[in-house]
Structure 1
Amino acid sequence: MQVTETSTEGLKRELKIVITASELAEKLDAYLEDLKGRAQIRGFRPGKVPKAHLKKLYGKSAMAEIVNTVIGETSNKALEERSEKAAMQPQIKLSDEDAEKILSGDLDLAYDLSYEIVPEFELAPVDGIAIERPVVEVADSEVEERLTQIAEGARSYVAREEGAAAQNGDRLTISYLGKIDGEPFEGGADDRAAIFLGQGRFIPGFEEQLIGLKVGDKKVIEVTFPEDYQAKHLAGKPATFDIEVFEVAAPGELKLDDDWAKTLGMDSLDALKDIVKQQIESQNGGQTRQKVKRQLLDALDAQYSFELPATLVEQEFNAIWGQVEAEMKAAGKTFEDEDTTEEKARADYRKIAERRVRLGLVLSKFGEREKVQVNEQELQRALIERARQFPGQEKAVFDFYRRDANALASLQAPVFEEKVVDVLLGLIKVTDKTVTKEELFKDDEEPAV
């Protein structure tokens, strides 16, 4: 194998790799020798097929297989000998015009290998990093509120006496037809829908205008869609709804006691309270983890500035931008609705892509230094969690990831990252800070990375 560097620019590398025809011929000879002992061809005894005959029958197909194997082996070997790590799968360019001669054994195998290397940088000390871990104490009132929500979901309703007017808290069964400028609009109609007065699940002003209605009543109500309504073609527009009432039902008694807890499979109300408190603590803990991780990543990002592989940045940007476009299309929004332009949005999201790539490289290097590994059990848990996202298709998901090494690596990457974060949190100063629930769940001003 002969390797010649043909171009170097920043992180970009281009190599010319040549494997002589004689080297390929030796590999073909060994291939045919092995095939000779296994081939079963009519007219020849096992193991007695002349090699020249095998070459005539299988020479080109065998050489094609050899060439593919050799390209894979030599490209990897070239990077190893140069002590370089490719940021992404290297690109291989082989002349189509030469392919026939190479397969016939009349020409050396020569191909171009282009790639970007992972940049070299020194890891900065982390012992000077100090972050605050926001924690929330779960109050008894929050547990009671969550219990009430659970009970509300299973509350029974009893039809009111004939002629009774609907009150706040009642459940109405109605049919409605929404119109804008006198014309029905998509998604604005339902038949015998359950409306819970006072829960604020509908457009502001909708539920309030149903109070006082009786079974059999028909009414036209007027509302205005909020300016920030998710369906932009309806946002801010006035609308009317034709209403017909079929039932008015009063809420049954809400009693939080041991008997009610037993209907949910618990031994007692106290046992249910413990479970609910644990669930709230788990939810808070997940948010605390995200806040802590964000602070850590911000601190790390401030420590590093080095050239990034353009291919990695472009790949990350395309993934982010594709998600942005899909979300905006689903919401019916434009960049103008977000007080920006596509050009500015692209620039902002490219910065996010660069940050993610930079931090990914930093975390990867820390992981190598600390010898962080993702074991089979952890990878299996990640695969199971992924399969759960596709109910009824679990087997197909398992088969897909087991067949595709790159897809499986995409599951391994976030597990590896979280383990590296755990290691780093053990190396820096972390102090707890009690905050309110609102503070804990307040969105960061910038998109999380």
Structure 2
Amino acid sequence: MQEDFLHYIWKHKKFNITNLKTVTGAIVTIKSVGSHNLNSGPDFFNAQLQIEDQLWAGNVEIHVKSSDWFLHNHEIDAAYNNVILHVVWEHDTEVFRQDNTSIATLQLKDFIDDALLKSYKTLFNAENRWINCENEFSSVDDFVLTNWKERLYFERLEQKAGVVDGLLQSSKNDWEAVLFKMLLKNFGLKVNGEAFFSLANSVDFAVVRKSQHDLISLEALLFGQAGLLETDVQEPYFLKLVKAYNFLKTKFKLNNVGVLPVQFFRLRPPNFPTIRLSQLANLYVLHQNLFSKIIETKSVEAFYELFKVETSSFWKTHYTFQKESKSSTKSISKSFIDLLLINTIIPIKFCYTKHQGVTIQDEILSLMTSIKSEKNSIISAFNNLKPVSNSALDSQALIHLKTKYCDANRCLKCALGNVFLNNKLLNQKT
């Protein structure tokens, strides 16, 4: 038995509310179950109950066993002095407030329908399932699923906005610096993301601004801080970068202590750090006011145009400084821009406009539904149960559903889990 299930039962009155009695036989009438408290303190605030002839207003605390009251030290916590009812699955001891007055106790297992218990056990008895409700998932109503995915996506977006807020604080409210750090990290993808992020944190963004006017200077800054200029290469372009970096290093007192080494191993050549850093440098040289343009841009096609940049000419015939390769144009692909939109651009737009007191929910929905669904093992598994991911909004929502709800057994806080539980209850009663 989980305490969350007892919260669910109490909150939604999923028990026989007629003829309720405390463990001492006192008649209980529920006027209001109260407001569910998700923070510290009693589980439900401002409940209204009638116990025998006395009307009570106060809080309700819920436990699996009555003795959990003492296990959690509530008897010495003033926050629990206003508890008017202790709701438990199993009553095994009397409980008291700080002043030693006893608290009325309701033993829920005496008032719960067996069909609900059976539904609960069936949903959570899923040892060999990928998710608890995989046998029911294909039957979910499309309207319910669509609304739940939208809520899940914005819940995930709020989490990403928290990261942006943290960077904003550490960057002294410089939105352009935050954008640079997040872009650089995401240009590194999974393999080099942390290395690129450490690179971004090793340089004050003011140095980036001062280097933006000249491509060689900005590339030198990025390559130098990444440790990619510490080899012996007798090539004009490389030597120009070394000279430019040494100048910047002296002028701005730069060092790359703490910058994580970049990786080439197991990467496709288009994702080599050399290619990605050159593309980013070209992007910033081409768009001196990149942050403002991102805030102003509203459509996916316009973003594709904004991020339509290539590497420097040297990289048309190279993937590394040391070895020449077949000539090819190495521009940022639409699929890569999609990743930037999902992980950097939209979270920053959302967070920035939120700080300005502006709501752009419709714009975000339009952007996310215009981007193709991501492809990974989670999305494939959901689509095998039922085709449900047609856009990036869907895929982001499903990733959040799996990692934050399914994996954590938070079915009772999931819109789908509630539907499945209620449907099973109805089916068993008919």
Higher alpha-carbon Rg: 1
Report TM bin, short chain. Answer: under 0.3
TM-score calculated relative to the size of structure 1: 0.23
TM-score calculated relative to the size of structure 2: 0.24
Structure number having the greater strand percentage: 1
Q: Which has the higher contact order (CA 8 A, sep 6+)?
A: 1
